[in-house]
Amino acid sequence: MPSASHILTLAVTLGIASAAFQGFNYGTTLSDGSAKTQSDFENEFKTAASLEGTGGAFTSARLYTMIQGGTSNDPVSAIPAAIKTKTSLLFGLWASGGDAVFSNELVALKKAAEKYCGQLDHLVAGISVGSEDLYRISPIGIRNKENPGVDPDTLAVIDACDWLGMDAYPYYEDTKHNPVSEGPSLFRAAKDKVAAVAGGKEIWITETGWPISGKTSGEGVASINNARTYWKDVGCPMFGNINVWWYTLLDAGTQSSNPSFGVVGSKLTKKPLYDLSCGKKRRV
């Protein structure tokens, strides 16, 4: 019988053998708060792969949870949607809800292994445990909230990981000089700090982006033009070189997003709000 460990083996093998993954982050609810179905995920994955200006490069999806909305521990319907659309997946185990919730995440992972493992060859990028849990200083009591990756208390966590996921938003660094023009340098500084404690392990960019609208954060101004600038100056040099899951394709939530990061806004369409093409690239 397929096992969760076999899915992990697939993830490790794929991570070694494939080119860099390139995609978006995906939640599990629609704008009205209802749970996404398989067809909802299929529509989003197909749209991402067909975005104007991208050459069909955005074919990966990062998930925050393994659990289908409205269930206790059934596998998320993004999995069969990914199989059908040939979208690679960075599985996510939500770790901020306590032990009982995390146990259900593991149950859902095992169920997914039993149900889909034979169909997931070449589609599993990896397994991400948690999302910004160290940043939230919970539940292990991290002292350094701004740069948790460099806090000594996190070293045991780093040692247990095969790779490190980095969420970086220069827009939110409001205590620094953070106009969009400083996006590359602030992003690079954050990545360098993580690399300094990574012990040579790969750093995957699990979230980054610049908002198209919303409040000003320090000197960070949310606008479509600035979102394009950040995409061009920070995103383009990374795409195809390291694993990147951008935040985000589609704004969706029970309330209007503020700030809003969706490259297509809140309506699913192949035409983005700004130019997603990349010309000559320079490494960030």
Nearest Cα to 64, choosing from 207, 200, 278?
Answer: 207
Nearest Cα to 148, choosing from 163, 164, 162?
Answer: 164
Annotated catalytic residue within 44, 105, 132, 182: 132
User: Does residue 207 carry a catalytic annotation?
Assistant: yes
Do 213 and 174 contact (CB within 8 A), yes or no? no
CB atoms < 10 A from the CB of 247, how many? Answer: 19
Q: What is the DSSP letter of 118?
A: G
Annotated catalytic residue within 42, 105, 173, 207: 207
CA distance 55 to 44: 16
User: Does residue 132 carry a catalytic annotation?
Assistant: yes
Do 42 and 85 contact (CB within 8 A), yes or no? yes
CA distance 206 to 88: 14
Contacts of 228 (CB under 8 A, 6+ apart): 274, 275
CA distance 131 to 39: 25
Q: Which residues are tagged catalytic?
A: 132, 207
